[in-house]
Every structure is written in C-alpha cells, then in structure tokens.
C-alpha cells in the first residue's frame, strides 16, 4: 500500500486521549501452530472490541493492501463523477440501501 496515501490529510489533533490497540499479525494468525496470536486476537476483541491487523507481515496481507490501494483510487474516480451520474445510483429514493 502506498504509505503516502494519507499525506494530504490533516495532522492528528493533539491533546486527545488515545486508546492502545493490540497489534495482531496476519502471518501469525495464518500459522496453524501459533495459538498465542489467536488468543491475543480473542482477548483484543473481548477487551477493546478493536485491534490493529498487521498486513505487512505476509504476502496475503500485502496482496490485500494492494486491493485496498486500488479501492482508494476507484473511490476517487467515483466521487469525481458528475452529480447527474451519481444520482442515477441513489438508493435513498428507493427507501433502501440494501443490495
């Protein structure tokens, strides 16, 4: 993933309370012999409800990051479409966003 994808975003505000998150390795989760990482994942879900998934630790994660990067580019293209084109796909007029 392009590490500079968020360079144009404003800096994180100072003075906010931060929550520490458990860092979970996808590589270790995929390793069937590593029960410790699975336990860490379960505990993070129970205690925090969130966790940071390290995708850089294996090829599967790196492939997922590449797909995410493509999705970022696609979303830029979609949001750049004229309003008339985007309105064609407005499901609010149908009363549902299902589908």
Q: pLDDT per residue over 17-55, tens digit each? A: 887 889 999 999 999 888 999 999 999 999 989 999 999
Domain assignment of residue 85, given as a range: 23-90
Residue 95, Ramachandran bin (φ over 0: left; ψ between -120 and 50: alpha; else beta): left
**Which pLDDT band, with edges at 50, 70 and 90, does 99 fall under?**
low
- 36's CB contacts (< 8 A; 6+ apart) are 28
Q: Determine the pLDDT at residue 8.
A: 77
16 occurs within a structural domain: no
Number of domains forming the structure of the chain: 1
**Which pLDDT band, with edges at 50, 70 and 90, does 5 fall under?**
low
Helix (H, G, I), strand (E, B) or coil at 52: strand
6 occurs within a structural domain: no
33 occurs within a structural domain: yes
């Amino acid at each position: 993933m392009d590490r500079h994808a968020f360079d144009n975003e404003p800096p994180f505000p100072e003075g906010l309370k931060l929550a520490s998150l458990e860092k979970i390795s996808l590589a270790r989760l995929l390793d069937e012999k590593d029960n410790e990482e699975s336990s860490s994942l379960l505990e993070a879900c129970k205690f925090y409800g969130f966790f940071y998934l390290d995708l850089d630790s294996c090829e599967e994660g790196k492939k997922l990051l590449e797909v995410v990067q493509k999705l970022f580019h696609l979303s830029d293209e979609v949001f750049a479409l004229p309003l008339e084109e985007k309105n064609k796909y407005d499901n609010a007029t149908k009363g549902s966003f299902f589908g």
